[in-house]
Structure 1
Amino acid sequence: MNDDQPEEWFRNSSSTAWGLLSAGAAVAVIVIDAATGWHPATTAGGVLFALVAYAAFFRTKVGVSEGDFVLHHLYSTVRFPMAALESVAVGRTLGAYAGGRTYVSGAVGRSMREAVKGSKREHKPLSNQADFIEDRLNALAQDARDRRRIKRDSEEQFALAKDVRRTWDWPLIAVTLAVAVVFVILLVL
């Protein structure tokens, strides 16, 4: 059900920078290895590192799409109706609560210093990305419940939370496993 829910995606602002740095490092290792005498194991290791960096820094994100709350993890995607989302809290990682379960994502989080402060820190959604994302997702969940005329913590909301769907990114898993196997074989030989 679409519910006219806007599509929005969130991730740590540093993810793209770290992803580009990781991909650049992998390419640099492969190029330096090729220039100094090619070693297949080094190339396979560089490609494996680039694949894992892609999954960790570019693929992981949290958002709202087609009326669903969506968590893209390294190799899987979890989605359920936005109206089923009870609350979102951002600590070191994002915790989304629905139907008595907690769904965790490392795509959004606070620095160690902010997380340790906990409730003692100032809540600043205009200047703190984690506060903004937490507030925005909670507001979108409330909007979705309002559109469906569902009360928070009601039986209807808990029933929606049973519609959790997990899909696996099989092509990425297959490529990563194939490169990992090749890397291990080349190390052993």
Structure 2
Amino acid sequence: MNDDQPEEWFRHSSSTVWGLLSIGGAVAVIVIDAVTGWHPETTAGGLLFALVAYAAFIRTKVGVSEGDFVLYHLYSTVRFPLAALESVSVGRTLGAYSGGRTHVSGAVGRPMREAVKGGKRDHKPLSNQSDFIEDRLNSLAQDARERRGIKRDSDEQFALAEDVRRSWDWPLIAITAVVAVAFVVLLVI
């Protein structure tokens, strides 16, 4: 762990807005259903939709925390030392390369029309969010390697890449599973 590493988080600029709109829509459906004649399957479906919207839009993000590169996925979190990060590239999704492995996250990506252009597009980190995030994460990884005195593509860097840790968000998984089972049971009966 490296306490002097700044903490920074990145995601699509519209993710939080879409997440809140989705959750708000689910809550509105539940409230309207409760006012007009309550149906338990509608409540369960609305709750399931809100939980998945939270996991997909609000929980997912990538960033740097306590000297680690961190990827928050729908139901899990992947962490490894920032100095182990070889490179980051952003296409339709973010690809982080470390120790011969690619860690992918949908928290950051390019629109389809921009991703299709590939190498033909202009790299504009000052006006393009995806270019900025790509450059910033690559810069933070380079700074972390320099602080530790590790050369890029060295044995030390590859050894650091072995320290990949995945943790699961068991409470969110359990709540989602219970609501999904309740929803299916209520639809069947």
Settle same-fold status: TM greater than 0.5. Answer: yes
Aligned length: 189
Equivalent in the alignment of 2:58: 58
Runs of 4 or more, structure 1, over 3 Å off, are: none
* Alignment-mate amino acid for residue 109 of structure 1: G
Secondary structure of the residue that 2:162 maps to in structure 1?
Answer: coil
- 2:186 aligned residue: 186
1:169 and 2:169 aligned: yes
Contact 1:145 1:151 in 2 (8 A): yes
**What is the CA distance between 1:3 and its match in structure 2?**
5.2
CA offset digits 1:23-42 (Å, max 9, x no partner):
11101110111121100000
Distance 2:139 2:3 in 1: 15
* One-letter amino acid of the structure 1 residue matched with residue 94 of structure 2: L
Residue segments in structure 2 that go unaligned for 5+ positions in a row: none
Q: Distance in 2 between matches of 1:3 and 1:137?
A: 17
SS of the residue corresponding to residue 29 of structure 2 reads: helix
Gaps of 5+ in 1: none
- TM-score normalised per structure 2: 0.99
Q: Percent identity?
A: 85
The residue number in structure 2 matching 1:147 is: 147
Secondary structure of the residue that 1:69 maps to in structure 2? strand
Partner letter of residue 12 of structure 2?
A: N
Distance 1:34 1:4 in 2: 51
Deviations 1:14-73 (A, max 9, x none): 101110110111011101111211000000000000000000001000000000000000
Q: Which residue of 1 aligns with 2:41?
A: 41
Aligned match of 2:74: 74
* Cα deviations by residue, 1:112-166 (Å, 9 ceiling, x for unpaired): 0100011100100001000000000000000000000000000000000000000
Q: Indicate conservation of the 8 Å contact 1:3/1:144, yes or no.
A: no
The 5 Å alignment of 1:2-41 reads 2=2, 4-41=4-41
CA RMSD, Structure 1 to Structure 2 (Å):
0.6
